Amino acid sequence: MTDDHLALLTNSIQAATSPLRNYLVDLHQQYRSLKEGKRVVQMGHTQTKSDGFGICVISVDGQVFEVGDVAQQFPIQELSRALIYGLALEDWGRDYVNQRVGVKPVGEVANAILLDAPNRCPHNPIITTGAIVTTNLIRGGSVTERLRRILKLFQRYTGRELTVDALVFSAVKAQGHRERAIANFLLKFDLIGGSVEETLDLYFQHSTLLVSSHDIAMIGATLANGGTNPVTGEQAIPAEYVQDVTSVIMTCGMYERSGEWMRQVGMPAQTCTSGALLAVVPQKLGLGVFSPYLDQWGNSVRAVRVCEAISKEHHLHLFDIYERNQQMMKYIEQVNRITDAATALEKGRYDETNLSEVTQRTDELGQLARMFQRMADQVQAREQQLKQQIKTLQIEINKAEKDQKVAEIVESESFQNLKQKLDRMKKRRDQHDSS
């Protein structure tokens, strides 16, 4: 077995027994019965469970914590847009792309036909106008080549090959009248070039790629990890453009709720009409949640609640400085606990309850504490075994000493004389009895 396979196996075991997974199980149980919102009906897609609900968290070191319908597939829809923006940046650079599409939040509906007046370009790459522009920017000698590059992009992010849902693609293409109107509007202002139909084909295809909440979490973890997939180690996007993609997710990903979302939850996140939500916590983790019940803003009701809870419980708000300071103080205090425990173990005064809180952590310190706990248990078990061996040996020594003393008494001259007298007395008694 290779070192990579051993590392994956170790991570899988740690994830399965982690307090974080137990927390996600409780969270899933808490919101599974929540039936608020309107069930999304996806054109042409028949695979989605009517009550599917999956939560997946993937850390930047590749640990996967998941519960529920994490393998349930659904069209990626709007979640593809930020990644296409990143590929356009890679192809053309910031200066050129920023002339074609802005990075401003907009309060209008996502598919509104409008431009940012001062710059005469779409407000951002997350709304439909901006997404069509960035799709048009993807390089390639043919539509097939451009699609191949897009598919390779998503493979780097998710770690697996994705496929287009042909039925959904056909349905949205047949009914994509507004998208055609937007594309022709953009063509009029020289914001896109070439064939409108080819651009829309690419746009509809990357919007109908089938993904799961596991895939969404992996995308988030890749962005959180500086553009490198934490499991495969493959660079999905140049590190210099990760901040651009993550920033636009943070400021525009929740559409008209983006400002409120950042104030309350504080995690860069993007929603989609399939019922999925992607969240990124830089240098920590990616989060993917799926549940096809949407609120009045088109966001998954359960996914929003889950993200709110995780952010609050685990202090993941980007600007939660007070809690971070408190966490750092607690971290230092718990490091000292492990150091004190090591000293106590050497002196034979170790009390495992002193580390009970530290062992519940899900980070490297928690792993260290659990490793120390196992070592301490082994040391204490050996001490008990040694004490038992000493006790058994002492019993054997005492018995040997007793036998030695008995032997010395038996072999002594006085004992032999006493024995001879007893023998003579026995003979006289026997003679007396015979007479």
What CATH number corresponds to the domain at position 232?
Answer: 3.40.710.10
Confirm if 129 and 186 have CB atoms less than 8 A apart: yes
Residues 277 and 378 in one domain: no
In a domain, 98, yes or no: yes
Calculate the alpha carbon distances from 386 to 149, 243, 346, 347, 392 in Å: 65, 59, 16, 16, 10
Helical residues (DSSP H) of 33-127, grouped into ranges: 81-92, 94-100
Looking at the DSSP assignment, which residues form a beta bridge with residue 58? 64, 286
Residues 174 and 275 in one domain: yes
If DSSP codes are grouped into helix, strand and coil, which group holds residue 34? coil
At 416 the pLDDT is 63
Q: Is 2 exposed, middle or buried (0-12, 13-18, 19+ CB in 10 A)?
A: exposed
In a domain, 435, yes or no: yes
What does the pLDDT profile of the chain (435 residues) look like in tens digits?
455 544 444 454 445 447 888 999 999 999 998 888 888 766 655 555 567 999 999 999 999 999 999 999 999 999 999 999 999 999 999 999 999 999 998 876 677 788 887 888 999 999 999 999 999 999 999 999 999 999 999 999 999 999 999 999 999 999 999 999 999 999 999 999 999 999 999 999 999 999 999 999 999 999 999 999 999 999 999 999 999 999 999 999 998 889 899 999 999 999 999 999 999 999 999 999 999 999 988 899 999 999 999 999 888 998 877 666 666 677 777 777 777 777 776 666 666 666 777 777 777 777 877 877 777 777 777 777 777 777 776 666 666 666 665 556 556 666 566 666 666 666 666 666 665
Residues 310 and 340 in one domain: no
Boundary (domain end) residue, out of 294, 319, 344: 319
In a domain, 327, yes or no: no
Q: How many angstroms separate the CA atoms of 188 and 166, rounded?
A: 30
DSSP designation for 164: B
Residues 310 and 402 in one domain: no
Total domains present in the chain: 2
Residues 26 and 63 in one domain: yes
Q: Which two tokens stand for residue 19?
A: 């307090």
Only one residue has tokens 């400021």, namely 251
In a domain, 144, yes or no: yes
Cα separation of the two ends of the chain: 94
- Model confidence, pTM: 0.73
In a domain, 402, yes or no: yes
Domain of residue 360, residue span? 332-435
Cβ atoms within 10 Å, residue 38: 12
Q: How many CA atoms lie within 13 A of 409 on its CB side?
A: 7
In a domain, 135, yes or no: yes
Residues 122 and 226 in one domain: yes
Residues 336 and 305 in one domain: no
DSSP per-residue string spanning 58-78: EETTS-EEEEESTT--EE-GG
Q: Which two tokens stand for residue 49?
A: 């469970």
Q: Which two tokens stand for residue 346?
A: 């050497």
Boundary (domain end) residue, out of 319, 346, 371: 319
At 399 the pLDDT is 66
Boundary (domain end) residue, out of 277, 297, 319: 319
At 17 the pLDDT is 47
How many residues in the chain?
435
Residues 289 and 366 in one domain: no
Residues 158 and 203 in one domain: yes
Q: What would you measure as the largest C-alpha separation in the chain, in angstroms?
A: 148
Residues 293 and 342 in one domain: no
In a domain, 45, yes or no: yes
**310 Cβ contact list (under 8 Å, min separation 6):** 27, 57, 287, 316
CA 340 to chain centre: 31
Residues 303 and 256 in one domain: yes
In a domain, 324, yes or no: no
Residues 232 and 153 in one domain: yes
Looking at the DSSP assignment, which residues form a beta bridge with residue 280? 286
Q: How many angstroms separate the CA atoms of 107 and 41, rounded?
A: 25
